[in-house]
Structure 1
Amino acid sequence: MKHDAHQVYVVDDDQDFREATCEMLEEEGLRPRGFAGGAALLETLDPEWGGVILCDIRMAKMDGFDVLKAVRAAAPDVPFIMITGHAEMRLAIAAIKAGAYDFLEKPVQPDVLITMLRRTLNARKLVLENKRLRRRIARQGGMVSHLLGRSDVIRNCRKALLDLAPLPITVTIYGETGTGKALAARMLHDYGEGAGGFYAINCATVAADGLQAELDGIPPEVDTIFVRALHKLDNRGQTHLADFLRRNDRPRAILSVTGSLTDPEISLSDELLYLVNVATVEIPPLRARNRDVFILLEAFLRQAAERYGKRLPNVTKEMLDPIGKHDWPGNVRELRNVAERMIIGLGLNLQAQSRGGTGPHTSYDEAMMAFERALLEQALRDADGRKGVAAETLAIPRKRLYLRMKAVGLLKSGQD
Structure 2
Amino acid sequence: MSKETQIYLVDDDTDFREATCEVLESADYSVATFSRGEDMLAKLDPEWPGTILCDVRMAGMDGFAVLKAVRAIATDIPLVMITGHGDVRLAIAAIKAGAYDFLEKPAQPEFLLGTMSRTLNARKLVLENRRLRSGQNTRSGLAGVLVGRSRVMRELRAMLLRLAPLPMTVLISGETGTGKSIVAKALHAYGDGAGSFETISCATASAEDLGAALAGIPDDVSTLYLRSVHRLDTACQAILADYLRTPGTPRIVASMTGSAGDAPDAALSDELYFLANVARIDLPPLRERGKDVYQLLEVFLRAAAQRFKRPLPEITDEMIREIAAHDWPGNARELQGVAERLVIGLPINLTARGGASSSPTLGYDDAMHRFERDLLMQALRETEGRKGEAADLLAIPRKRLYLRMKAVGLLDTGRD
Q: Structure 1 174/224 Cα, relative in aligned 2: closer, same or farther at 3 Å?
A: same
**What's the secondary structure of 2:192's corresponding residue?**
coil
* Deviation for aligned residue 1:159: 0.8
Matched with 2:359 is: none
Task: State how far apart, in whole Å, the 1-side matches of 2:311 and 2:225 are.
Answer: 37
The 5 Å alignment of 1:139-288 reads: 141-259=140-258, 263-264=262-263, 266-288=266-288
Q: Structure 1 132/298 Cα, relative in aligned 2: closer, same or farther at 3 Å?
A: closer
Matched with 1:5 is: none
* Deviation for aligned residue 1:375: 4.9
Q: TM-score, normalised by structure 1?
A: 0.55
Is the CA contact 1:242–1:271 (under 8 Å) kept in the aligned structure 2? Answer: yes
Task: State how far apart, in whole Å, the 1-side matches of 2:363 and 2:374 are.
Answer: 16
Q: Structure 1 199/337 Cα, relative in aligned 2: closer, same or farther at 3 Å?
A: same
**What's the secondary structure of 2:208's corresponding residue?**
coil
* Deviation for aligned residue 1:135: 3.1
Task: State how far apart, in whole Å, the 1-side matches of 2:157 and 2:408 are.
Answer: 46
**What's the secondary structure of 1:348's corresponding residue?**
coil
Is the CA contact 1:171–1:253 (under 8 Å) kept in the aligned structure 2? Answer: yes
Task: State how far apart, in whole Å, the 1-side matches of 2:151 and 2:332 are.
Answer: 17
Task: State how far apart, in whole Å, the 1-side matches of 2:206 and 2:259 are.
Answer: 23
Q: Structure 1 378/308 Cα, relative in aligned 2: closer, same or farther at 3 Å?
A: farther
- Residue type of the partner of 1:247? T
1:154-193 Cα shifts (integer Å, max 9, x gaps): 1111111111000000000111010000000000000000
Task: State how far apart, in whole Å, the 2-side matches of 1:288 and 1:196 are.
Answer: 35
Task: State how far apart, in whole Å, the 2-side matches of 1:191 and 1:366 are.
Answer: 48
Is the CA contact 2:373–2:408 (under 8 Å) kept in the aligned structure 1? Answer: no
* Deviation for aligned residue 1:209: 2.5
1:303-358 Cα shifts (integer Å, max 9, x gaps): 0011111111111111111101111000000000000000111021102489xxx9
Q: CA RMSD in A?
A: 3.4
- Residue type of the partner of 1:135? N
- Residue type of the partner of 1:373? R
Q: Structure 1 311/132 Cα, relative in aligned 2: closer, same or farther at 3 Å?
A: closer
* Deviation for aligned residue 1:378: 8.4
Matched with 2:294 is: 294
* Deviation for aligned residue 1:380: 11
**What's the secondary structure of 1:284's corresponding residue?**
coil
**What's the secondary structure of 1:337's corresponding residue?**
helix
More divergent stretch after superposition (258-267 vs 183-192): 258-267
Matched with 1:370 is: 367
Is the CA contact 1:379–1:394 (under 8 Å) kept in the aligned structure 2? Answer: no
Q: Structure 1 378/333 Cα, relative in aligned 2: closer, same or farther at 3 Å?
A: closer
Task: State how far apart, in whole Å, the 2-side matches of 1:179 and 1:318 are.
Answer: 25
* Deviation for aligned residue 1:260: 6.0
Task: State how far apart, in whole Å, the 1-side matches of 2:303 and 2:364 are.
Answer: 31
* Deviation for aligned residue 1:207: 3.0
Task: State how far apart, in whole Å, the 2-side matches of 1:162 and 1:370 are.
Answer: 42
Q: Structure 1 353/318 Cα, relative in aligned 2: closer, same or farther at 3 Å?
A: closer
The 5 Å alignment of 1:16-35 reads: none
Matched with 1:60 is: none
* Deviation for aligned residue 1:373: 3.2
Task: State how far apart, in whole Å, the 1-side matches of 2:259 and 2:315 are.
Answer: 36
**What's the secondary structure of 1:255's corresponding residue?**
strand
Matched with 1:311 is: 311
- Residue type of the partner of 2:224? I
* Deviation for aligned residue 1:247: 1.2
Provide structure 1 residue ranges, at least 5 long, that are not aligned to the other structure.
1-127, 360-364, 383-392, 397-416
* Deviation for aligned residue 1:131: 6.8
Is the CA contact 1:209–1:236 (under 8 Å) kept in the aligned structure 2? Answer: no
Matched with 1:332 is: 332
Task: State how far apart, in whole Å, the 2-side matches of 1:167 and 1:129 are.
Answer: 21
Is the CA contact 1:170–1:279 (under 8 Å) kept in the aligned structure 2? Answer: yes
Q: Structure 1 144/294 Cα, relative in aligned 2: closer, same or farther at 3 Å?
A: same
Task: State how far apart, in whole Å, the 1-side matches of 2:408 and 2:329 are.
Answer: 32
Is the CA contact 1:341–1:377 (under 8 Å) kept in the aligned structure 2? Answer: no
Q: Establish whether residue 346 from structure 1 lines up as the match of residue 361 from structure 2.
A: no
* Deviation for aligned residue 1:277: 1.3
1:271-311 Cα shifts (integer Å, max 9, x gaps): 11110111001111000000000000011011001111111
Q: TM-score, normalised by structure 2?
A: 0.55
* Deviation for aligned residue 1:269: 1.1
- Residue type of the partner of 2:144? S
**What's the secondary structure of 2:267's corresponding residue?**
coil
Task: State how far apart, in whole Å, the 2-side matches of 1:164 and 1:319 are.
Answer: 38
Q: Structure 1 366/204 Cα, relative in aligned 2: closer, same or farther at 3 Å?
A: farther
Percentage of matched positions with identical amino acids: 47
